[in-house]
Amino acid sequence: MNTDKASALALANFWVAFTAFLAAALLGLYQVAERSGLFPHLESPALYFAAVSTHGVLMGFVLTTFVVMGFGYYTATTSLNQLLWNRSLAWLSFWLALVGVLLAAYALLTGQASVLYTFYPPLRAHPVFYIGAVLLVVGSWIWCLEMIMMMITWKRAHPGQPVPLVMFGNVANAVMWLWASAGVAAEVLFQLIPWSLGLIDTVDVGLARTLFSWTLHAIVYFWLFPAYIALYTLLPKAAGGRLFSDQMGRVSFIMLMVVSVPIGFHHLYMDPFQESGFKLMHMFGTFMVAVPSLLTGFTIIASLEISGRLQGGTGLFGWIGALPWREPLVTAAGLGLLLLAGGGFGGIINASYAMNTLVHNTAWVPGHFHLIFGGTVALLYFGIAYHLWPKLTGRGLRSPRLVLAQLWLWAIGMIVTAAPWHWLGLLGQPRRISSTPYDTPLVAAWQPFETLMVVGAVLLSLSAIMLFYNLVTSQAGGEPTDATIAYAEPVHAVLSLPRPLNSFALWNWILLFWMIAAYGYPIAQFFLLDTYGAFPWNV
Amino acid sequence: MHIDPLERRWIVLTLVLMLAITGVLVGYAIGANVHPPSNVETVDSTQLHLTPEFAEDKLGVTKNPDGTLTVTMVAGRYGFYPQHIEVPVATSVTFRIASADVLHGVHVPLTNLSTMIVPGYVSEVTTSFEKTGEYPVLCNEYCGLGHDHMWSRLTVKANQ
């Protein structure tokens, strides 16, 4: 077993992720303060929109991709007891992605890519921004290849045996990401790069948004996968118990892989260029993708209950107090699941077809995704970091109390930030504004919630600095500790599995046909109708 | 595959809940025609001023023979034009809006008037306003550095 090299690779990926996270978190504080109207000398649309664009790219594309890759490389080698499939290629994925980030950062920080992390045309960014994004995605594709090849290699060496659940999850994520990223890749490679370079004059904005929607929902599951995999394969062990059901874990991963891609139109409910029939189809799929999350909720809470009762908890809720909350991953998961309830509920509202009209492009939307991504997913990323750092570095956490304080501060800060944000949306405040110069009594109604959000952002920034501090001091000066990782064991041992729960062939076919049904005509129509393209516009 | 009986019940409950919600949504969509704006119609955003519908002197409120109203507007950095629209209360109004440049979103808070405005396509929303008053018409899709300042006015007046 040669995990040392994967440790270095995983650490490299994680350090890029959490450095990006810290920078982005501080930008977030600036943004909330600027928009609140309480600090007039801070107000500047140019600075604000450059900051929002940078913040979105760093949090949504950099933090996430590098955590996914680091987590994948480490858990793949340790769960399969196998070398990386191709070590040079794995390091190439890291460097390509990093170079991509630096290129995009150049454009963002010089104000030449203030097009937000969704970069909708016909607002045009500097070509270097799009090229940087491509390199980041190509780096992630190499990671996908590594995951798939490692599983294939392992299966050849262990015919008929169940693939370890953590690896099954990584590969489900990899396969899903290859399917999902095709949409934005097509948009960037065939439309945005040639257009920003002046090689083509116009792009069809409807087609661009349709292709982006293909990626836009599934990408949140790309982000979510490491968190869910950790819930199934690391948390039960950290909590001192067992995983309630290995098979239901696989079912959830498969459902996420298949159902998260062909449902992008819930991001286009309010757009003119797609018909209601297709929007209804995607709506149905969107509700189906809630199922694996609800299944995960059951399985993980059941696993925690087993852990709690094994440690002496009795009564209907007594097992909760008996859980080892001092374990960072247990606290991170508990707080994360709490926030998932709120974020999931908001998501159901967003998915509800015509009801989306009430919240579309209002402040409710960033409130929602900060709660579910900035809340649940980020907390679980922190939990993963605190859990894996000792394994990766051989040094224990320097200050366990600061670790727990950081997690609680983040959860509280996120609630104080996201709850008013949702309410602002219900009061009609648009999203993506840097000030509120409207002549309407609504502005006064918004003000107290803006102020509350500044408080929340301060708490979050403190927590972000604490996270970085905890990781630096632990790696530099933690006590030497055992670096062996232990994965959770299921209550019922898995001796054999039916083929569909151990491989992805069937699911790829199902996804292919579903994608043709969900996106075939909606994309083809742009080539059949007489459409008019848009020329580039600067911000 | 072994599924714990309690988990089996949870799965059924989950599926029933999802089917119930989607059933209601589909029911309202098909039965009461409740949809988000989904008009598929192209237009050349670079030539709006030359089209019969969106030429400058054609913008604004027109009364249709059946008593309903049509409001024709252009969205462009940084305003919705005409910048002041007046409509009577409790009357069906169809808004037809096109973009002269980039993506915009139009939203009158606390009403059903909300839609994306996409260059190359005509957006159409039909609604009615139940309360008289002055309403702000806000842009809610990032359209450039002046996005904050993109708004106009809607007055809903009592019927004569």
Q: Which of B18, B145, B151 sits opposite A438 (nearest CB)?
A: B151
What residues make up the domain containing B142? Answer: 45-157
Q: Which two tokens stand for residue A85?
A: 């499939």
| CATH code (residue B56) | 2.60.40.420
Q: Is A273 a catalytic residue?
A: no
Pairing assessment for the beta strands B133-139 and B151-157 based on DSSP bridges: antiparallel
| Torsion-angle region of B107 (φ positive above 0: left; ψ -120 to 50: alpha; else: beta) | beta
Q: Are residues B31 and B52 in the same domain?
A: no
Whether residues B18 and B69 fall in one domain: no
The verdict on residue B119 lying in a domain is yes
Is B133 an 8 Å CB contact of chain A? no
Kindly report whether the global pTM for this prediction surpasses the value 0.95. Answer: yes
In this predicted complex, what is the ipTM? 0.96
Q: Is the same domain home to B17 and B95? A: no
B140, B61: one domain: yes
Domain topology for A8-528: Cytochrome C Oxidase; Chain A (1.20.210)
Do A437 and B149 make contact, defined as CB atoms within 8 angstroms?
Answer: yes
Contacts of B123 in chain A (CB under 8 A): 272
CB atoms within 10 A of CB B158: 8
Using CA atoms, how far residue B158 sits from A364, A500, B90, B134, in Å, is 32, 64, 9, 12
Judge whether residue B118 has pLDDT over 80: yes
Vertex A109 angle, CA A106 and A112, to 5°: 80
Residue B40 falls inside a structural domain: no
Domain ranges in chain A? Answer: 8-528
* Count of CB atoms situated within 10 Å of the CB of A465: 14
Task: Examine residue B131 and state whether it is found in any structural domain, yes or no.
Answer: yes
From residue B82, give the alpha-carbon distance in Å to each of A175, A287, A377: 50, 40, 45
Are both B28 and B56 inside the same structural domain?
no
Tens-binned pLDDT, residue by residue, of chain A (539 aa): 445 569 999 999 999 999 999 999 999 999 999 999 999 999 999 999 999 999 999 999 999 999 999 999 999 999 999 999 999 999 999 999 999 999 999 999 999 999 999 999 999 999 999 999 999 999 999 999 999 999 999 999 999 999 999 999 999 999 999 999 999 999 999 999 999 999 999 999 999 999 999 999 999 999 999 999 999 999 999 999 999 999 999 999 999 999 999 999 999 999 999 999 999 999 999 999 999 999 999 999 999 999 999 999 999 999 999 999 999 999 999 999 999 999 999 999 999 999 999 999 999 999 999 999 999 999 999 999 999 999 999 999 999 999 999 999 999 999 999 999 999 999 999 999 999 999 999 999 999 999 999 999 999 999 999 999 999 999 999 999 998 999 999 999 999 999 999 999 999 999 999 999 999 999 999 999 999 999 999 99
Q: Residue B148: inside a domain, yes or no?
A: yes
B19/B57 same-domain check: no
Query: Do B31 and B49 sit in the same domain of this protein?
Result: no
Helices (H), chain B: 5-32
Q: Tally the domains of chain B.
A: 2
CB pairs under 8 A between A and B: 202
Residues B53 and B22 in one domain: no
pLDDT digits (tens, 9 = 90+) for A217-262: 999 999 999 999 999 999 999 999 999 999 999 999 999 999 999 9
Which of A244, A253, A369, A386 is flagged as catalytic? A369
Write the burial class of residue A434 (CB in 10 Å: 0-12 exposed, 13-18 middle, 19+ buried). buried
Active site residue A158: no
The dihedral built from the CA positions of residue A486, A488, A493 and A495, taken in this order, carries a sign that is negative
C-beta separation of A299 from A248 below 8 A: yes
- Inter-helix orientation angle A205-216/A505-528, to 10°: 170
Contact between chains at B42 and A284 (C-beta distance less than 8 A):
no
Contact A164, A487 (CB under 8 A): yes
Residues A381-431 pLDDT 10s: 999 999 999 999 999 999 999 999 999 999 999 999 999 999 999 999 999
> Which amino acid makes up residue B45?
S
Both B73 and B96 in one domain: the answer is yes
Cβ of B11 within 8 Å of Cβ of A295? The answer is yes
For residue B106, tell me if it sits in a domain.
yes
In a 3-state reduction of DSSP, which class is residue A59? Answer: helix
**Looking at the domain assignment, is residue B75 inside a domain?**
yes
Q: What is residue B2's predicted lDDT score, i.e. its pLDDT?
A: 81
* Locus of tokens 């680091």: A70
B114 and B144 in a common domain: yes
To the nearest 10°, report the CA torsion of A494, A498, A502, A507: -150
Q: Determine, yes or no, domain membership for B58.
A: yes
> Cβ of A524 under 8 Å from any chain B Cβ?
no
Tokens representing residue B69 in the block:
């109203």
In this structure, the answer to whether residues B17 and B53 fall within a common structural domain is no
B26 with B52, same domain: the answer is no
Touching check for B149 and chain A: CB below 8 Å? Answer: yes
